[in-house]
Structure 1
Amino acid sequence: MALNGEAVASESIVKRVAADIGGTFTDIAAITDKGELLTWKVPSTPPNFAHAVASGIDDLFSNKEIDLAHIEEILHGCTVATNAILEQKGAKTALITTRGFRDVLEIQRIRVPKLYDPLYQKPVPLVPRNLRFEIGERLTAEGKVLVSPDFEELGAIIERIKAAGTESIAVCFLHSFVNPVHEQLVGKILREKLPNCFVSLSIDVLPQKREYERTSTTVVNAYVGPPVREYLGTMIRQLRSIGVKGGLMVMQSSGGILDAASCLEKPAHIVECGPAAGVVGAEYIARKAGYKNVITLDMGGTTAKASVIENGELSLADEYEVGGGMSSSSALVGRGGYALKLPVIDIAEVGAGGGSIAWLDRAGSLKIGPESAGAIPGPACYGRGNEMPTVTDANLILGYLNQESLAGGSVPISRTLAEGAVNSKIAEPLNLDLLATAYGIHTVANAAMMRAVRAVTTYRGRDPRDFTLFAFGGAGGLHAVDLARTLRIKEVVIPLASGVFSAVGLLYSNLEVNETAPLLSLLSAMPRKKAEHIFKNLTTRITEVIGGNPKEIRFRRFADLRFQGQAYELTIPFEDDGLTKTGLVNLAARFESYHLARYGHAFSGEFPVELVNLRLVGIKETKTAKVKRSIADCEIREMTRMAYFGPDLGSVSARVITRFALTELPQKGPMIIEEYEGTAIVPPDCTARVDEQGNIIIALT
C-alpha cells in the first residue's frame, strides 16, 4: 500500500479518483489496480473550491507514472448546495402555486431549535413574498380537474418574473402528486418562455403529500439549482485543464453516487452529500471487519458528524432540515431550518471541528463554535492572522499533535502562537493555567460532539454500549476515546486513511437512484396489482437514469407505513415474500417491531396499518480494487513526547508512532499515532492493535 505520494508499482492504472471538499482541507484518494491506496490533502480554496480539487489531483499524480487521461470517473462530495442555503447565496427564485397557498412557506411547521426561546425568529423563506405567485387552477384530492390553469394569468406572471430578473422557478400545485397534468403544462410553458431559468416541478422533485414539505423541497431544489450548475461546470473545466477526461460523479445525501448531469436535474438530492461518504466508507469497512453495529464519528475542521450503522445497514431518514442550529433528521434535536423530504443518511451535525473557535460568553462560560477559523486564516497556530484559539490550538498545546507541522509537513504550525491565543483569550480572563485551559477546550468540544452522537443513538432508542465507535476525519482520532469512555463503549476503530476517509468512502460508493410514488391504502387491503404496476414504472425510470445493463442493477423495495390516524410514517423494507398476502402480513409485523423499538410502544391490534408511499431504490455496484496492506512499503518511526491527559494523570511521556509500528498484538498506551492525514490518541489506560485490514483497534478498560 502506498500513501501520500510514495512510489507506486510501475504501470499502475487508476480508474476512479475521489475528491472530498471540507471547510478546511480538500482530500484526494485513489486506489490503483494493484491495490495501492493513494491519498493527498491540500487546503481548501474558497470561494473557488474546484481549484483545490484539480491541484490536489495534479499533485498526487505528478511524480507517478499514471496517465490522468485513463481516469474514468472523478467521485465528488461537496457542500456547495448546503453553503448556498446556509449563506443565503442561492439563486433568485420565484414560486408559482395554487391560489390560496402562497404563504405555505411562511406558515411552515412549529419546529424550533430551542424549546424555550422567546426571541426565536423563523427562518426567512428562500422566496420573498413578492416573488410568490398564485394561479387559478385546482385538482381534487383524487386528481380530478376542478379548475384548469389560467394561462392568461400565467402569461402575466411570466412577465413579472422576467422583470424581476429571476434565475429559478419552483412550481408546486395542490394534489399534483396524484395528477401531474397541470404542473407539466405550466412547466412546459415556463421552459419555452424563460429558457435561461432553472425550472423545478414538485412532481419531479417530490411526488408526495404534505404541502409544506413538498413546497419547501421544490423551492430548495430551485434555489440551489443554478449555483450547483455553475459549480459543477467549473469543476469539469478545471479537471479538463489538467488532462482528466473521465466523467464527474457526485455523492447524494442518501449515500449513493450519480452522474453530474442527473444531479443537475434534482440538485436538492446533494444538499447533505458532504457527510454521507464517510458513513458509506465506514459501512464498507465495518462489513469487511465483521462489525454489524457501528456509531460513526466524522470530525473535520469545521463540524463533527455522527451516524449509525445498525445490523449492517445504513440508518436512513426521509426528512431533514438545513439551517436550524444542529443539522439533523431527528425531531428531538435542533430544528427550525428549511425542510427537505428526501432520502438522507441519518446524520446529526454540530459546529465542533478542529478549526472551531473557543470563546467566552458574557457570563464567562467557555463555548466552542459554531464559528470556525476554516482554511483561511485557519487556527492561530497556522500563523495566518487568526488570533482566536481553536480546538486544534488546544490539542497542539496538550501535546496531541505534531509540534512542528501537519499534513506530512505541508502545513507548518507554531505552538507559541497557539499558546498566545489560548492564554490571552481564555486562560488569563478565567485565571487558569495553560494546560488546564487547553484541556477544558478539548473537553467542551467533546461535550458538543456528544449532542450529535446522542441524537442518533439514545434519542432513537439505541443503547450506545451495543455499538463500536468508528472515528475518522482529520480530528476524529484525537477525541474518539474520550467520547467512547463517556458513552461506555468498549472499542474504538480508526480506519485506514482516517484523515481522508470521506474521500476513501467515495471510492466504495455505488450508483444509486431513489424513486417514490404515492399509494394510500390500508396495508391489508393494498391493491397489489396496482402496486406491482407502480413498481414496474419506477423500475423503468431508474433503469433509464442509471443506464448500462439492466441486469447489473439491484432493486430494493420499501413501503412508508403508519398506524391509521398518525401523521408521519416509517419506511420499512419488503422482504423476498414481497407483495404476497404473507409478505404483507410480515411487512406489518416488521413495522410494528420497528415502531416499538423507535418509540417504545406500538398500537398492535388497536389501529390498522396504513400504506402511504411505495419506494424503489436501484443500486449498481461499482468495482474497486481491494486495498493491500504492505508494511514494507510504509514508514515505521518512533519517538516520545509529553502529552497531557487530564488533571488525574497530568503530563506523561507518550510514544509517538505510525500505524505501521502496531501489530495484531495489543500494545499499552499512552501512544500518539501520527499519520499524514490525521492523529489518533491512545490514553494510558487503553491498548491499541491493528487488524489485517490496517484498522487501528483501541480497547478501553
Structure 2
Amino acid sequence: MNSIRVGVDIGGTFTDIAIMRGDGRVITKKVSSTVDDYARAISEGLEEVFAENGLGAADVVELLHGTTVASNAILELKGARTGLITTKGFRDVLELRLLRMPRLYDLTWEKPPALVERYLRCEVDERVNARGGIERPLDPAEVEAVLDRLLAEKVEAISVCLLHSYVNDAHERMIRDIIRRKAPGMVISISSEVLPEIKEYERTSTTVINSYVKPVVGRYLNSLGGDLRRIGVTAPVLLMQSNGGLTPAEVAAEMPVNIIESGPAAGVIGAQSLARRAGFDKVISFDMGGTTAKAALVENGEVSRAEEYSVGGGIMIGSRLMSGAGYVLKVPAIDLAEVGAGGGSIIAIDAGGAPKVGPQSAGSFPGPVCYDLGGTEPTVTDANVVLGYINPRHLAGGAVKLDAAKSRAAFTEKVAAPLNLPVEQAAYGAHLVAASNMIRAIKAVSSERGRDPRDFALVAFGGNGPLFAAGMARSLGIRSVIIPPSAGVFSSVGLLHSDVEYHLSRTFRQITGALDVPELAAAWRALEEQAMAKLAADGFTPGQIHLRRFAKLHYRGQAYELSVSMPEGAIDEATAARLDAAFADEHERTYGHRAGPGEPVELVSLNLFAAGRLDTLRNAKPAMPAPATAPPAQRDAFFGPEHGWMPTPVLQRGHLAGREWQGPAVVEEYDCTCVIPPGMTVRLDDHGNIAINTGAGP
C-alpha cells in the first residue's frame, strides 16, 4: 500500500487537492468548487486524482482540510438560532460592542446586527466578583424559567457568558448541567471553556460565535464524512485552525470558533515551511485566489499571530487600531490582512466615473466573461486575458476553456468605452487598481506593524498571486519574489506541512515588579498539563509534543496588550525582568517608543502553544522540474504606456532550470500563471522555486 496524506483547500472558485506520497512527492489537482455542497467537490476530486495516479482510497492515512464553511455562515448570517444567558445588567453587551467606528467620516455606516436578537438574550440575577468570590448565588429555578423561555422560541443553540466566570466558572457549569438535563442534545457553549479571559464583549462575542456556527459545522463535517466513506476513505480528518495548527474534526465540531478563518491559514504555514527550507528569515506571504487576496508575515521563522480579529467587516485587519466593523473573535489567529480582490472580482465604473475592482465577485459560476458560462461583467481575469498575461485559450491544463474575444468585447463595452480609452489601457488601469487594493493588505501586515516591507521577500501563491506579485513587489521596494512549486494550489500543499496544535490561555493579572513566582509557575504547570493531556488523547507521545509559552502584557492603564515569548525553563525571580525587557522591545517595535524603566508593566494573561509533530510523511521533496526541451512559445503582452505591447516568451518552469531569463516573460503552469515585467530577471533556485529579482531597492 502507498501511504499518502491528502490536503484539501476549498476556495470560492476552485477546490485544491494536494497528495503527498510516502516518497515525499506531491501530486496536485484543481477542480471547480460545488457551492451548493462543498463536500461533493472533495469526494469527486479525490476520485479523479486517485484514478489518474493509480492510488486507492485505502492508501489515505490522513486527510487535512481547510474550509470556509464557518466564516460563510457568519458572512451570510445563516448560522443557528442562538440564545444567550448572561449576568443581570449585561444583556446588551453584544449591541454596545466596543463603541468603535471603523469608518470615521461615514455617517451612513451601520454596525452589523447582533448574532443573538435582543429577545433571545436573557439575564440571571447572579454575581461573581473579580477575585472569584460569589456575591449573589445562582438560583436554579430562575435558570429553568429562562431556559423554558428560550426553548419556547425554538433556539438551536445556547451560549452562557457570566461576569468573571474566567476566575470562577461554578455558575456557568451549573447552567450547563441544567440545560443538559432539561434539553438533551441542545448545542451549548460556556465562556469559561471557549475563552477563559477578561473583557466582556470579546468573551461574549467569541462564545456566541461558537454556538452560532456549531450546528452548521457539525452538519458539514457529517456530510463530508459520509461522502468520504462512500468513496472508501476512512482515515482521520484534521481541520486547519485559524491559528495555523491542525485539530481533529471531532474537536473542531465542538469548538468551531477556532476554524473560522481555516481557509487562508494553510498557505501561510506553507510559506513558513518554504522560508525555513530556502533560508529566508523574513517573508511576506501573498495569496490571491478567485475572490480575495490575503497577506501575512513570517518573521525569523515564526508566523505573526493576532490575539483577536473580526469576521464580516470587509478588509480583515487583525487586531489593528481601525476595527469594529465585523464580529470579534478573541482567539489566536494568523495575523492576516484580506481584501476583496481576486481573479473573479468584478470591474465596474463608480458614480464618479473611476474604475473600481470588487468586492463583488463573479465566483466560479458564472465566473469571468472569458469562462463563457453566462458571465457578462468584466473581471480581473478578463483584464489579464486582454493584456495577454493569461493564456487566451484555456486554464488548468485545458480543463477550463477560455474565450478571449468575449473578454475583450465586454471590457470594451463596460470599461474602456465609458472611460474613452483604448481597451488595453483600460485593462491595464484595472490591473493597477487591483494591485493597489492588494498592496493595502501587504502594508497592513508590514509597515502598519512597524516592519519595513523592503526587508522581506514576497512569497506569492494562489491562482492569481504569481501574476501580480512582481509588479506589486517593485512598487513596494521589495527585491525578491518567490513563487513555489504548485503555487496555484499552495494552500492545500501548506496543509501537508502543518502540525496538530492547541492554543490555551488563562487570565493572570499581576504587576511584573511584584510577581508571585510560585503562583505563576503553578499556572503554567496547569496549562501545560492540560495541553499534554489533549495531545496525548490525539495519539502523540511526549517526545512528539512541543510547548511554547507566551504572555500578554501592557503598561498599567493601557487597554490593549502585546504578546511576547516567555523564557524557556523554570520560572524564577529573573522571569519578571526578562518579561519587562521583551515587552519594552516589542512595544517600541510596534509603536515606535517605550516607557521609562519606572513605568509599571502588567502581566494580563498566559498563552500556551502546544504542537504535536509527526516527522513521518511530512517532508516534501523539492519539486525540481526537468529542463524543458521544447522552445518557448510567444505572445504579445501589454505592459503599460511606457512599454506598450511587447513580444513575450511564454515559458514552462523547466525553461528556467540552469539559466536566468530577462523580463518580460510569462511562466505558464497547470495551476497558475507568473508574469515577469520588463526590467526584472527570473531563475529557478535550488528548491524548485521561481526566484524573481525585481531590481528594486539599493
- Given the two structures, how large is their TM-score scaled by the length of structure 2? 0.97
Distance 1:468 1:664 in 2: 22
Aligned equivalent of 1:388, options 377, 380, 398: 377
What is the SS of the residue equivalent to 1:63?
helix
Q: CA deviation at 1:309?
A: 0.8
Distance 1:341 1:234 in 2: 29
CA RMSD of aligned residues (A): 1.4
Q: CA deviation at 1:578?
A: 4.8
Q: CA deviation at 1:314?
A: 0.6
Q: CA deviation at 1:367?
A: 0.7
Distance 1:253 1:465 in 2: 27
User: Where does residue 111 of structure 1 map in the other structure?
Assistant: 100
Residues 24, 620 of structure 2: 8 Å contact kept: yes
What is the SS of the residue equivalent to 2:392?
coil
Q: Are residue 604 (structure 1) and residue 596 (structure 2) matched?
A: yes
| Change over 3 Å in CA distance of 1:140–1:302 after alignment to 2 | same
Matches within 5 A, 1:238-249: 238-249=227-238
User: Where does residue 239 of structure 2 map in the other structure?
Assistant: 250
User: Where does residue 6 of structure 1 map in the other structure?
Assistant: none
What is the SS of the residue equivalent to 2:317?
coil
Aligned equivalent of 1:68, options 31, 40, 57: 57
User: Where does residue 484 of structure 2 map in the other structure?
Assistant: 495
What is the SS of the residue equivalent to 1:301?
coil
Q: CA deviation at 1:635?
A: 8.0
Residues 624, 687 of structure 2: 8 Å contact kept: no
Q: CA deviation at 1:515?
A: 0.6
State the one-letter code of the partner of 1:68.
Answer: A
Aligned equivalent of 2:214, options 225, 246, 251: 225
Distance 1:183 1:36 in 2: 50
Residues 97, 173 of structure 1: 8 Å contact kept: yes
Q: CA deviation at 1:61?
A: 1.3
| Change over 3 Å in CA distance of 1:565–1:140 after alignment to 2 | same
Partner deviation per Cα, 1:80-107 (whole Å, 9 max, x = no partner) = 1111111100110000000110000000
What is the SS of the residue equivalent to 2:482?
strand
State the one-letter code of the partner of 2:276.
Answer: R
Aligned equivalent of 1:588, options 561, 565, 580: 580
What is the SS of the residue equivalent to 1:182?
helix
| Change over 3 Å in CA distance of 1:65–1:211 after alignment to 2 | same
State the one-letter code of the partner of 1:502.
Answer: S
State the one-letter code of the partner of 1:541.
Answer: Q
Q: CA deviation at 1:519?
A: 1.0
Question: Which 10-residue stretch deviates more, 343-352 or 259-268?
Answer: 259-268
Residues 328, 334 of structure 1: 8 Å contact kept: yes
User: Where does residue 547 of structure 2 map in the other structure?
Assistant: 555
Distance 1:437 1:194 in 2: 61
| Change over 3 Å in CA distance of 1:635–1:694 after alignment to 2 | farther
Partner deviation per Cα, 1:249-290 (whole Å, 9 max, x = no partner) = 000010000101111121111111111100000000011000
Distance 1:220 1:637 in 2: 55
Aligned equivalent of 1:376, options 365, 379, 385: 365
State the one-letter code of the partner of 1:649.
Answer: H
Distance 2:570 2:591 in 1: 26
User: Where does residue 4 of structure 1 map in the other structure?
Assistant: none
User: Where does residue 688 of structure 2 map in the other structure?
Assistant: 694
What is the SS of the residue equivalent to 1:648?
helix
Matches within 5 A, 1:505-520: 505-520=494-509
Question: Which 10-residue stretch deviates more, 151-160 or 123-132?
Answer: 151-160
User: Where does residue 609 of structure 2 map in the other structure?
Assistant: 617
Partner deviation per Cα, 1:496-538 (whole Å, 9 max, x = no partner) = 1100000000000011001111111011322222222222221
State the one-letter code of the partner of 1:677.
Answer: D
State the one-letter code of the partner of 1:464.
Answer: P
| Change over 3 Å in CA distance of 1:672–1:333 after alignment to 2 | farther
State the one-letter code of the partner of 1:482.
Answer: G
User: Where does residue 297 of structure 1 map in the other structure?
Assistant: 286
Distance 2:561 2:321 in 1: 16
Distance 2:414 2:162 in 1: 54
What is the SS of the residue equivalent to 1:421?
helix
Distance 1:314 1:571 in 2: 13
What is the SS of the residue equivalent to 2:519?
helix
Residues 477, 679 of structure 1: 8 Å contact kept: yes
Structure 2, unaligned runs of 5 or more: none
Q: Are residue 170 (structure 1) and residue 164 (structure 2) matched?
A: no
- Identity, % of aligned positions: 45
Q: Are residue 351 (structure 1) and residue 343 (structure 2) matched?
A: no
User: Where does residue 5 of structure 1 map in the other structure?
Assistant: none
What is the SS of the residue equivalent to 2:611?
strand
User: Where does residue 524 of structure 2 map in the other structure?
Assistant: 535
Distance 2:323 2:631 in 1: 45
What is the SS of the residue equivalent to 1:254?
coil
Residues 333, 455 of structure 1: 8 Å contact kept: no
What is the SS of the residue equivalent to 2:442?
helix
Q: CA deviation at 1:653?
A: 0.7
State the one-letter code of the partner of 1:263.
Answer: A
Residues 497, 619 of structure 2: 8 Å contact kept: no
Distance 1:532 1:59 in 2: 53
Question: Which 10-residue stretch deviates more, 174-183 or 419-428?
Answer: 419-428
| Change over 3 Å in CA distance of 1:424–1:170 after alignment to 2 | same
Q: Are residue 668 (structure 1) and residue 656 (structure 2) matched?
A: no
Question: Which 10-residue stretch deviates more, 568-577 or 384-393?
Answer: 568-577
Q: Number of aligned pairs?
A: 690
Q: CA deviation at 1:159?
A: 1.5
Distance 1:117 1:628 in 2: 50
User: Where does residue 455 of structure 1 map in the other structure?
Assistant: 444
Question: Which 10-residue stretch deviates more, 535-544 or 330-339?
Answer: 330-339
Structure 1, unaligned runs of 5 or more: 1-10
